[in-house]
Amino acid sequence: MAENKTKKEDLFSKLNSKQGFSLGIGAAILIVLVFLAFLALDGKNISISKNADQNSPDTTTTSAQGAQPNVDISQVDTKGEPFIGNVNAPVTMAYWFDYQCPYCKKFETETLPDLINKYVNTGKLKVVFKDFQFLGPDSQTAGAAAEAVWELYPTKFMDWQTAMFNAQGEENSGYDSKDNIIKLTKTIPGIDADKVSALMDQKKTAIQAELDGDKTEGTNLGINSTPAFIVGKQLISGAEPASSFEQAIDGELKNK
């Protein structure tokens, strides 16, 4: 009897050991499955976040946007830069752009005319144009031409700027080659396109340094997409509706 009891106890001990082992494996598998499910859900959230970034706001981006940086228009170098409006206007808006950026075209054709009528023409706002020519060689060429036009014919700059954005084509398709830009420039009354072309060649190094300086300045201020604007201490990214700019400008005017 004692021998049979011992055998039964050994059998139960082995069974309990196997059951414990099985339960341990089961628990481990369950933990792994829960962890994998969490990763899958988290991956979906990351994917949604990326898709949301791509669909908002209307910007062409160089890198992922982070928290809004601290900015101040007083930190922006506006000396010698192309601008429209009264030089002593109470409010200044710095505007970084790329000639090939479709959202810059949206701003120039849909929003800027309203701001010009309401604020620039009434002496309340000065808009300073800052280069952020990052989309390729055509952007660089267009930026160089803009510098030449501003130096030679500042009163015609906005006419030229408008014509350039109206003629915007596919990115780096050659529509902003120097030959095409000079052809377009010849259609604008009051500008000698040959002089613009010559100045682009004569001051190539200095003009490139100016383009690079504007972009570096923008990057240092936390700008990584176009269009981007600084009004007072506010950074506006993207081709926002006119109301967004009006709110920022009116806020600055109240403080003057």
Map out the domains of the chain as residue ranges. Answer: 1-56, 73-254
Under CATH, to which class is 73-254 assigned?
alpha beta
Q: In what order do the strands lie in the sheet with 125-131?
A: 83-84, 125-131, 91-97, 228-231, 234-237
Burial letters 208-225, b for 16+ CB under 10 A, else e: eebbeebbebbeebbbbb
CA distance 172 to 155: 29
Q: 99-119: per-residue pLDDT in tens?
A: 999 999 999 999 999 999 999
**14 pLDDT above the threshold of 50:** no
Residue 82 C-alpha from the chain's centroid = 20
More confident residue, 220 or 7: 220
Please determine, for residue 33, whether its predicted confidence score (pLDDT) is greater than 90. Answer: no
Q: Could you give the CA distance from residue 125 to residue 218 in angstroms, rounded to a whole number?
A: 20
What count of other Cβ atoms lies within 10 Å of the Cβ of residue 114?
14
Residue pointed to by tokens 């005017």:
253
| pLDDT given at position 58 | 62
Q: Which tokens is 138 given?
A: 């055509």
Judge whether residue 16 has pLDDT over 80: no
Half-sphere exposure of 118 (CA within 13 A, CB side): 13
Q: 106-113 contacts: CB < 8 A, separation 24 or more?
A: 106/58, 106/239, 107/227, 107/239, 108/161, 108/162, 108/165, 109/165, 109/166, 110/239, 111/239, 111/240, 111/241, 111/242, 111/245
From the CB of residue 241, how many other CB atoms can be counted at a distance below 10 Å?
13
pTM of the model as a whole: 0.75
Per-residue pLDDT tens over the stretch 143-176 = 999 999 999 999 999 999 999 999 999 888 888 8
Phi, psi of 81 (to 5 degrees): -85, 150
**CB-hemisphere CA count at 13 Å for 168?**
17
Residues 124 and 249: beta-carbon distance below 8 Å: yes
